[in-house]
């Protein structure tokens, strides 16, 4: 049974989440503030953390930062919960290592589905198959990193160095969202003076070349892109 740590200072939200998570078959841990959440995460090692952004004394983003900087908790996936809808809040959360972002009020059914998707990625239950860092296969897409080859439905796809690097970085993120700035740094390098919207152009070209497999690259509106594993 997966254990979920719910971090929120609103009793009604805690009770709602606990009820729906237990109904879905999960064990639930609770914390009402940042320090308590960090302490429980270190001692109990939950399988996933639902973390509210607006917490007393310590904001959720600071809690996330501390969790990801601690060896004992860095690998625990975190889904952020927030009443805010501003783009900057989502960008900060994803850049700090959040796996997903859900805005209140939310549908319990949607939250459970997205929670399951994150847990599946971390428990190795997704349909992605890989061979170390040498090759990657997902449905009709095959990528050989060492040989710089890409196949879709068995046919070779000619990708530029930048397009291949872009695809490689999205695959390596294992379903996590990469912001445009992060993609620029990883695919173009820190010393290349290009604007974030350059990423959009290259993603469009990459999708066209990948044909049907281009649908696996998902746009996260206002944030960036991720390789969809399901």
CATH number of the domain to which 51 belongs = 3.40.50.2300
**Co-location of 139 and 74 in the same domain:** no
**Co-location of 33 and 139 in the same domain:** no
* Cα angle value 221/223/226 (rounded, 5°): 85
**Co-location of 78 and 170 in the same domain:** no
* Mean pLDDT calculated for residue range 163-175: 89
pLDDT-wise least confident of 2-6, 33-37, 156-160: 156-160
pLDDT tops 80 at residue 78: yes
pLDDT-wise least confident of 5-19, 130-144, 204-218: 130-144
**Co-location of 21 and 93 in the same domain:** yes
pLDDT at 120: 79
Rounded-to-integer distance, Cα 30 and Cα 50, Å:
10
- How many domains does the chain divide into? 2
* Mean pLDDT calculated for residue range 136-140: 92
Rounded-to-integer distance, Cα 136 and Cα 31, Å:
39
**Co-location of 13 and 119 in the same domain:** yes
pLDDT at 126: 39
pLDDT band with cut points at 50, 70 and 90 for residue 130? very low
Distances (CA, A) of 14 to 37, 62, 115, 126: 13, 20, 16, 29
Distances (CA, A) of 130 to 136, 143, 174, 192: 5, 10, 11, 31
pLDDT at 127: 41
**Co-location of 80 and 20 in the same domain:** yes
Owning domain of residue 30: 3-123
Last residue of a domain, one of 106, 123, 140: 123
**Co-location of 160 and 118 in the same domain:** no
Question: pLDDT (tens digit, 9 = 90+) per residue, 22-42?
Answer: 999 999 999 999 999 999 999
Last residue of a domain, one of 68, 91, 123: 123
**Co-location of 7 and 51 in the same domain:** yes
Question: What's the length of the chain?
Answer: 230
**Co-location of 9 and 86 in the same domain:** yes
Last residue of a domain, one of 123, 144, 178: 123
DSSP-assigned beta bridge partners for residue 217: 227
Give the best-scoring range by mean pLDDT among 80-84, 92-96, 200-204.
200-204
* Mean pLDDT calculated for residue range 57-78: 86
């Amino acid at each position: 049974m997966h254990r979920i740590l719910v971090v929120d200072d609103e009793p009604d939200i805690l009770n709602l989440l606990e009820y729906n998570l237990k109904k879905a078959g999960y064990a639930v841990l609770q914390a009402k503030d940042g320090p308590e959440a960090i302490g429980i995460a270190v001692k109990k090692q939950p399988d996933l953390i639902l973390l509210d952004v607006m917490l007393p004394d310590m904001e959720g983003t600071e809690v996330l930062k501390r969790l990801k900087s601690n060896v004992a908790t860095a690998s625990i996936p975190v889904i952020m919960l927030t009443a805010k809808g501003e783009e900057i809040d989502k960008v900060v959360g994803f850049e700090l290592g959040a796996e997903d972002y859900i805005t209140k009020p939310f549908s319990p059914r949607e939250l459970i589905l997205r929670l399951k998707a994150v847990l599946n990625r971390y428990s190795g239950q997704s349909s992605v198959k890989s061979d170390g860092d040498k090759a990657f296969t997902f449905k009709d897409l095959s990528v050989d990193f060492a040989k710089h080859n890409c196949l879709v439905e068995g046919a070779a796809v000619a990708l530029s160095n930048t397009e291949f690097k872009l695809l490689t970085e999205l695959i390596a993120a294992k379903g996590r969202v990469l912001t445009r700035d992060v993609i620029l740094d990883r695919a173009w390098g820190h010393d290349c003076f290009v604007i974030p919207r350059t990423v959009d152009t290259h993603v469009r070209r990459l999708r066209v070349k990948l044909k049907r497999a281009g649908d696996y690259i998902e746009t996260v509106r206002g944030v960036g892109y991720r390789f969809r594993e399901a």
